[in-house]
């Protein structure tokens, strides 16, 4: 088993350790970066999008086709639903 070095204080930690024993810094750099970006509010919106409708290049062609058809329907429905909600809120006010 290897060891990971803390990027913050330089302490060597077990490879399975998520956080530095010495200072508590996250050892998973990808995770640490996402958390830092979230804190700063710089996280790109793409990651926040529903993974259900994400089109990935590794998907088989039929799945991409379904997503291409379903996505506009979903967004249309979502837009109408939010408009109705807005109307209800407006009438109730």
Task: Name the site residues for Zn ion (rule: CB under 5 A).
Answer: 6, 8-9, 11, 20, 22-23, 25
For the CB of residue 39, give the shortest distance to Zn ion in the complex, in Å: 18
Of 8 and 17, the one with the shorter C-beta distance to Zn ion is 8
Phi, psi angle pair for 46, to nearest 5°: -55, -40
Least distance (Å) between residue 65 CB and Zn ion: 48
CB of 31 to Zn ion, least distance (A): 15
Minimum distance of Zn ion from residue 67's CB (angstroms): 42
How far is it, in rounded angstroms, from Cα 24 to Cα 69?
46
Contact 8, 23 (CB under 8 A): yes
Residues 6+ apart with CB under 8 A from 6: 12, 13, 20, 22, 23, 25, 27
Residue 4 or 25: which CB sits closer to Zn ion? 25
Determine contact, residues 27/12, Cβ cutoff 8 Å. no
Identify which of residues 9 and 37 has a Cβ nearer to Zn ion in the complex: 9
């Amino acid at each position: 088993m290897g060891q990971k070095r803390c990027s913050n204080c330089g302490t060597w930690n077990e490879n399975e350790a998520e956080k530095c024993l010495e200072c508590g810094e996250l050892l998973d750099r990808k995770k640490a970066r996402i958390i830092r970006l979230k804190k700063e509010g710089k996280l790109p919106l793409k990651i926040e999008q529903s993974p259900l409708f994400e089109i990935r290049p590794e998907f088989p062609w039929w799945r991409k086709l379904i997503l291409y058809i379903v996505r506009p329907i979903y967004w249309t429905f979502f837009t109408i639903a939010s408009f109705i909600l807005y109307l209800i809120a407006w009438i109730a006010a």
